[in-house]
Amino acid sequence: MENANFLAANKSKLKENYEKHLQDETFKKLVNSLNISDEILMKYTSKLQETCDELNNCKGCAGKAFCKNAIEGYVFYPKYENDLLHFNYVACKYEKEYQQKINNSANYIRMPENLKMAAMKDIYVKDKKRIPIIKYLKTFYDLYETDKHQKGLYLHGSFGSGKTYMICAMLNELAKKGVNVYVCYYPELLRSLKDSFNTGDFASRIDRLKNVPILFLDDIGAEALTPWARDEILGTILQHRMDANLPTFLTSNLNLEELEIHLSSTKEGIDKVKARRIIERIKYLTVDMSLVSKNLRETKNN
């Protein structure tokens, strides 16, 4: 009997609290949109009010930078499933626009303007050492529409030989066809990722690097190596792309044996095992090709 009285009293308090919140126009509009009985809704009054608070924050909001919600760019919002009301974080219009902008454009991190404009028709072809590389890039381009899981290139060789230009030229042609590509100078990428800790977009940028259809990391091996850069950044990105069979391109002045030595040595000591893991991921993702040629930067040819 006492238990029944307790339940009745508790239900009465729930109803009273719910009806009190119904006086708020935002709360009333929200519950009406859900098309659920008051009997169920009154059990979630506090969470529904949390949604209302966030919806009120969104009124007149000028953009993500001004977001006052618990998670920037998202709203704590209810969804009715299997006789239960579930609450999840749903992207607001500014977050959706931001994601769309990222997904629909080729992204270049600190790359010279001539690389952004590079075209396959402008590739320097008089050097016979370039022919196998050009053929590989041409085949990749021709087959991409029907095979989006081809291997990329690990292209290494002498400084200024045109490695970066050739790959950018092919990727630019794909970008013109609407293919999402991400092109970056690797040492600068690491610096910008560190800076993104302060701007709050580190996680979204890592997700972009892991999931973009085609990724090009330029000049790997030129960075000041740290365990964080090797294991948390490069290792994480390459592992995900290997699992998903996503085309990945890399250039370096180091061959794979030299790169392994570079990756094994940090201020914290030598770790050959972790360096070997990175190399195996690169081998899985790419075809190893070399270009030792004259410095075309001196002659301004590509």
**Is it the case that residue 299 has pLDDT exceeding 70?**
no
Mean per-residue pLDDT, 62-78? 89
pLDDT band (50, 70, 90) for residue 265 = confident
CATH tag for 105-291 (out of 3.90.1150.10, 3.40.1550.10, 3.40.50.300, 1.20.810.10)? 3.40.50.300
**How far is residue 114's CA from residue 126's CA, in Å, rounded to a whole number?**
20
**pTM greater than 0.75 (yes/no):** no
Predicted local distance difference test score (pLDDT) of residue 7 = 45
**Is it the case that residue 99 has pLDDT exceeding 50?**
yes
Query: From its phi and psi, is residue 48 left (phi > 0), alpha (psi between -120 and 50) or beta?
Result: alpha
In the chain, what are the domain boundaries? 2-97, 105-291
**How far is residue 163's CA from residue 133's CA, in Å, rounded to a whole number?**
9
Q: Which of 243, 244, 242, 181 is nearest to 216 (CA)?
A: 181
Query: Hunting for tokens 């092109």 — which residue is that?
Result: 183
**Is it the case that residue 135 has pLDDT exceeding 90?**
yes
**How far is residue 181's CA from residue 183's CA, in Å, rounded to a whole number?**
6
Mean per-residue pLDDT, 10-31? 89
**How far is residue 179's CA from residue 48's CA, in Å, rounded to a whole number?**
41
**How far is residue 292's CA from residue 302's CA, in Å, rounded to a whole number?**
14
pLDDT band (50, 70, 90) for residue 106 = low
pLDDT band (50, 70, 90) for residue 58 = very high
Predicted local distance difference test score (pLDDT) of residue 9 = 55
**Is it the case that residue 102 has pLDDT exceeding 50?**
no
> Where does residue 240 rank: exposed (0-12), middle (13-18), buried (19+ CB within 10 A)?
middle
Do 287 and 153 touch, CB atoms closer than 8 A?
yes
Mean per-residue pLDDT, 109-116? 76
Mean per-residue pLDDT, 220-244? 94
**Is it the case that residue 103 has pLDDT exceeding 70?**
no
Mean pLDDT over each residue of the chain, to the nearest integer: 86
Residues with Cβ within 8 Å of 175's Cβ and at least 6 positions away in sequence, in order, are 106, 181
pLDDT one-digit tens code per residue, 150-201: 999 999 998 877 899 999 999 988 988 888 899 999 999 999 898 888 777 8
